[in-house]
Amino acid sequence: MNFEEKTTILVIDDSDIIRTSMTKFLSEYDVEVLTCNDGLEGLQCAVESKPRLIFLDLLMPNLDGLRLLKVMKVLEDLKHIPVIIISGHTDKTNVLAAMEAGAEKIISKPLTKEALIKAINEVLGNDFLNATKKLAQFSQIEKEKMNKELKKYFANSLGQKKLTIKQSVENKNKELLKLIIHELKGSAGTAGFNQVSELCKEFENALSLPNNTWDDINLLSQNLLTNLTQIEKNLLN
Could you report the per-residue pLDDT of 11-47, keeping only the tens digit for each? 999 888 889 888 888 887 888 999 999 888 999 999 9
Greatest mean pLDDT among 9-18, 81-90, 92-101 = 9-18
pLDDT surpassing 70 at residue 138: no
Evaluate the omega torsion of the peptide bond into residue 110 and state whether it is cis, within 30 degrees of 0: yes
Residues in the chain: 237
- CATH architecture, range 152-236: Up-down Bundle (1.20)
Question: What is residue 90's predicted lDDT score, i.e. its pLDDT?
Answer: 60
Amino acid at the residue 156: N
Residue 73: pLDDT over 60: yes
Among 3-12, 21-30, 170-179, the range scoring the smallest mean pLDDT is 3-12
Per-residue pLDDT tens digits for 183-237: 888 888 888 898 999 999 899 889 988 888 999 999 999 999 999 999 999 988 7
Model-level pTM? 0.71
Class of domain 3-137: alpha beta
DSSP for 153-166 reads: HHHHTHHHHHHHHH
Reference 42, options 28, 24, 54, 25; nearest CA is 54
**Per-domain residue ranges of the chain:** 3-137, 152-236
